[in-house]
Amino acid sequence: MIRLLSAIAAAQGVLVAAGGLGARPIRVEASEDVSGDFAVTPRLQAFAWAQWEGKWIFIAGRTGGYHGVGQGDVDFPRSHANPRIWVVEPPAPGPAKVYSFPIADLPASLGLVKDQWLSSNLLHFQDYDTLYLAGGYGENSAGELVTYSVVSSVNLPALVEGVIKGKDTFSKTIAWAESPVVQSTGGELVKLGDGFFYLVGGHVFTGSYRGFEAADEKNTPKASQTYLGEVRKLRLTRAGPGKLDVSLVQSFSDPEFSRRDLNVTLAILDDGRSLGAAAYGGVFTKDQLNFTHPIWINAGAAPLVEDRFEQKMSAYSCATMLLYDPESLAMYTTFFGGISRWRWNDASRQFVQAPLLGDKTQPDGYLDGLPWINEISTLVRDHGRLVEFVQQGSRLPGYVGANAAFLPAAGLKRIREDAPIFDLRQFRGKRVLVGYLFGGIRAYPKEFPYTEGARDYTSGTVPTKPNDLILKVYVTAP
C-alpha cells in the first residue's frame, strides 16, 4: 500500500488557529435550537437522507437511541425501525411542513427493498436527482437480523411529489440489485468525477448483538461480524425498469481500511478543481479504540493513508460540513460532536485524552476511552498540509452529532454542482445561516448534576435517545 508522507504543520493537533497555513480559521456556531418549528418532524438516527428543491428527505434509520452494548436495548428490533419515508419543508417562516408515506404501502414486488428501507446505518449517496442506498443492518420480514446485500435507488423529484400527495406515484422509479459487493453497514458510499462509486469500509454483521456479546464477541453460527477491510470501486448503472447493475471494478485492501462508523466526505483536491474523498476516524482498532489516520481517495489512483497526521476529534460517524476557499486552495471539513478519543480543554487550550479504565466485566467505573463529546472541530487541508482546530467557546448545547446530518440551507453557492462543498467566500465578513444539524443520537454521559465536571456514567450505561434538538448552523469567515 502506498503511504502518503506529506509535510504537516509543526503545531498540528493543538491549534485553535491554523498558523503557518494560507487558510485561516472560520467561526462555526450551532447552539440555536429551533425544534419548536419542527414539532411533527420525526426524531431519527442512523438514517439515509437527501435534499431536493429545499426539502429534506429521510429514509430508514432508528427511532431509538444508541444500541447500548451491555444494555437491554442492545439489538435492532423492527419495532424501533423508521417505518415511513419523510419529506420535510423547513419553515420559511412559520412551522415546518411535514409529509410521510408508509414503506409498507410500497408494492409487494419491492419486498427486499422494503426490508432494506427499514434498516439502519445504510450507506447512501445523492447523485443529482437520484438517491442511492446500499447495505444496512436490521430485522428482515422473516425475523432475521442481517446486513443487506442490496443496492437501491429512487428518483427524488418523483418521491417528493408522491409523498406530499400521499400517493405511490414514485415506486416505478425505484430500481435495485442484489450483490455481495454492496453488503456493508456502517461504511460509506461516494461517487467521484470518474463516474464510479466508492464503497469505503463497514462490516457485515449477522445475528443479534445480544448473541454476539454472549459469545464474548467471537463469531458463531448465530452471530458474526466481519470487517470489509476494503475500499471498493464500483460501476453502478440502470439496467432497465426497476433494475440496477452493480459490478466490482477494483478493490483496495489494507489493515487501515478495517473501519466502520467512520466519516467519508467529498473534497476538492490540491489542484483546486478535481473531486476526491477522504475517510476520517472509524472503529475499532485491535486495542478497541479508533483509527486516527485519514485516507485520501482519488479517482484513478490507489487510496493513500496519511501516516503523519492523527485526527484528534470526532472519531465516530457524525454530521459534517464541507467548505472550500478557491483563493487559498484550502478545504475545510467541520465535524459536529459525536464520539471521540480526545476532548478539548478551553482553559488550557489543548487536547486532553479521554480516560481508559477497567473493562466491560466491571459493573462500575469502566471507561472505554471513547466518550460522547459536544465540541465542534474543523480539519483544514491546504497544499497537502493538515491542521485541526476546535471552536473555542462554541460548544453544542448537548452531546449530539453522532449518526446525525448537516442539512445545508437552500441557495448556497457550491464549488461544483455534483458535490455539497460550498464556496467559503460567500461567508466572508458576515455571519451566515448555512444549514441545520438534524437527527442522530443525544447522549447524557454525565451523572447528576449533569455538568461538565460531574462524574461520567460507566461506558455502556450512558442514557441516550434520538436527538430532539434541531440546531441552526452559522458560519463567519474572515
User: What is the structure's pLDDT at 66?
Assistant: 78
Q: Are 402 and 373 in contact (CB under 8 A)?
A: no
- The mean pLDDT value for 343-354 works out to 94
Beta bridge mates, 190: 198
Tell me which of 74-83, 350-359, 366-375, 396-405 is least confident: 74-83
**Residue recorded with cell 490540491:** 270
Tell me which of 15-19, 20-24, 129-133, 396-400 is least confident: 15-19
User: What is the structure's pLDDT at 262?
Assistant: 98
Q: What percent of the chain has pLDDT over 90?
A: 83
Please provide residue 105's backbone torsions phi and psi, each rounded to the nearest 5 degrees: -85, 0
Ranges 97-106, 385-394, 459-468, most confident? 97-106
pLDDT band at 92 (very low <50, low <70, confident <90, very high): confident
* Residue 380 cell numbers, joined: 483544514
User: What is the structure's pLDDT at 21?
Assistant: 56
User: What is the structure's pLDDT at 70?
Assistant: 45
| Alpha carbon of residue 439 to chain centroid | 11
What pLDDT, in 10s, does the model give residues 234-281?
999 999 999 999 999 999 999 999 999 999 999 999 899 999 999 999
User: What is the structure's pLDDT at 74?
Assistant: 62
User: What is the structure's pLDDT at 73?
Assistant: 58
DSSP state of 460: T
Q: Is the dihedral of CA 180, 181, 182, 183 positive or negative?
A: positive
Statement: residue 11 has pLDDT above 90: no
DSSP string for 228-294: --EEEEEEEEE-STTBEEEEEEEEEE-GGG--BS-EEEEEE-TTSS-EEEEEE--B--TTSSB--S-
Q: What percent of the chain has pLDDT over 70?
A: 94
CB atoms inside a 10 Å sphere around CB 454? 12
User: What is the structure's pLDDT at 7?
Assistant: 29
Calpha distance 151→232 (Å, rounded): 14
pLDDT band at 68 (very low <50, low <70, confident <90, very high): low
Statement: residue 197 has pLDDT above 70: yes
- The mean pLDDT value for 447-465 works out to 89
- The mean pLDDT value for 97-121 works out to 98
Burial class (CB in 10 A: 0-12, 13-18, 19+), 286: exposed
* Residue 375 cell numbers, joined: 465540541
- The mean pLDDT value for 309-337 works out to 97
DSSP state of 182: G
User: What is the structure's pLDDT at 8?
Assistant: 29
Amino acid present at 161: E
Average pLDDT, the chain: 92
Calpha distance 56→30 (Å, rounded): 19
* Ramachandran assignment for 242, one of left (phi > 0), alpha (psi -120 to 50 degrees), beta (any other): left
pLDDT band at 113 (very low <50, low <70, confident <90, very high): very high
User: What is the structure's pLDDT at 17?
Assistant: 35
What pLDDT, in 10s, does the model give residues 272-297?
999 999 999 999 999 999 999 999 99
User: What distances in angstroms separate CA 347 from CA 19, 314, 350, 352, 353, one per listed residue?
Assistant: 20, 20, 8, 11, 15
- The mean pLDDT value for 60-66 works out to 89
DSSP state of 202: -
- The mean pLDDT value for 175-198 works out to 98
- The mean pLDDT value for 96-105 works out to 98
Burial class (CB in 10 A: 0-12, 13-18, 19+), 245: middle
pTM of the model: 0.94
User: What is the structure's pLDDT at 172?
Assistant: 98
452 or 303, which is more confident: 303
Beta bridge mates, 268: 275
